Amino acid sequence: MTPVRTEFADGVAVFTIDRPEARNAVNQEVAQQLAAAMDEFERRDDITIGILTGAGGTFCAGMDLKAFTRGELPSVEGRGFGGIASAPPSKPLIAAVEGWALAGGCELALSADLIVAADDAKFGLPEVKRGLAAAAGGLLRLPKILPYQLAMEIALTGDPITAARAHEFGLVNTLTPSGGALDGARELAARIAANGPLAVRATKQVVSMAIRYTDPDLFAAQRGILDPVFVSDDAQEGARAFAEKRAPKWTGH
């Protein structure tokens, strides 16, 4: 069974990460398939907007840590984490979030242009709890949306934020009842897809450019700071401790 399902209809594309047994964690296969799906999304003139969601009541738990300990990276050259994070599509993308959007999963949601979330959903960047750092755009994008101090609290504590609080501060566009995020995203997408596709695409590009969401210089600048974290002993220890269900033993190396 493919870990990414795609649907194209009525001007709207729906991309579903379908690994519910792993809480839709992203491995290399997921990243490659999402990148391929985004390429098709970009090519199709009949599709105006996309929706990214996860199967089984969870959006995405981030990087597959078990795959990481085997040396598998959940990214695609030129596209970044999940095949999306460092090079989002030029067409608008909605994240439909149920349950948890954690770590790289939160960063995938942040790489979207709009977020529709169930009222019991939660967002978080817990990388620091695993000896890692949020290198897929989360540390760059979060303070552009949330107040500086709140963004810092989320990033430095690794603690999650509820969808209700995220909505209060503008991170989430629309709240829905539990189980209704995808329907809510489809409703929003239909309103956008009813507009001129060239105008929608151009408008998204200018708005995103205005706040430098896709500025390659920012990604280049953060690599020099964060790359050493990913090759550290603590990074491997954090992943092993998670897989072994124990507290990590940090060394600072």
Q: What is the pLDDT of residues 66-81, one digit of tens each?
A: 888 888 889 999 999 9
Indicate if 244 belongs to the active site: no
Pick the catalytic residue: 29, 42, 72, 107? 107
Query: How far is it, in rounded angstroms, from Cα 134 to Cα 219?
Result: 12
The whole-number average pLDDT for the span 151-168 is 97
pLDDT at 251: 81
Q: For residue 194, give the 3-state DSSP assignment.
A: coil
Q: Where are the domains of the chain?
A: 4-198
Higher-pLDDT residue of 109, 224: 109
Burial of 70 (0-12, 13-18, 19+ CB in 10 A): exposed
Residues of the chain above pLDDT 90, percent: 73
Residue 72 annotated among the catalytic residues of the structure: no
How far, in Å, CA of 89 to CA of 108, rounded?
Answer: 12
Sheet architecture: strand order including 12-17: 4-9, 12-17, 49-54, 93-97, 114-118, 174-176
Active-site annotation holder among 7, 42, 127, 168: 127
For 41-94, how does the pLDDT look when each residue is reduced to its tens digit (9 = 90+)? Answer: 999 989 999 999 999 999 999 999 888 888 888 999 999 999 999 999 999 999
The amino acid at 90: S
User: Can you name the residues that pair with 95 across neighbouring β-strands?
Assistant: 52, 115
Average of per-residue pLDDT across 214-238: 79
Pick among 3.40.605.10, 3.50.30.50, 1.10.8.60, 3.90.226.10: CATH of 4-198? 3.90.226.10
The mean pLDDT value for 97-123 works out to 97
pLDDT grade, residue 228 (50/70/90)? confident
Which carries the bigger pLDDT value, residue 218 or residue 31? Answer: 31
